[in-house]
Amino acid sequence: MPSEVIRVICPNLRCRSILAVPAMTRGKVVRCRKCNARVKIPLVATSAAPTPAVPAASNEQPGEEEKV
């Protein structure tokens, strides 16, 4: 797919806009259109879902070990 698009979230905490960049920009640095911050595009393609860096916590609950 030549028209593959990578979605990355702007690292600027005050911006956090989702940037859609072509796959050819992998490993390069692009600029956020909103805040002009430099965004590093990861080499490895992320999953299609534009999820934040926080992993899904609903799957695995931290073990409630009762320490007696």
- 30 is an interface residue for Zn ion by CB under 5 A: no
Do 41 and 29 touch, CB atoms closer than 8 A?
yes
- 12 is an interface residue for Zn ion by CB under 5 A: yes
Member of 4, 24, 31, 34 binding Zn ion (CB under 5 A): 34
Q: How far is CA 8 from CA 35, 61, 66, in A?
A: 14, 27, 40
Neighbours of 12 (CB within 10 A): 15
Please report how close the Cβ of residue 21 comes to Zn ion at its closest, in angstroms.
13
Residues at the interface with Zn ion (CB under 5 A): 10, 12, 15, 32, 34-35, 37
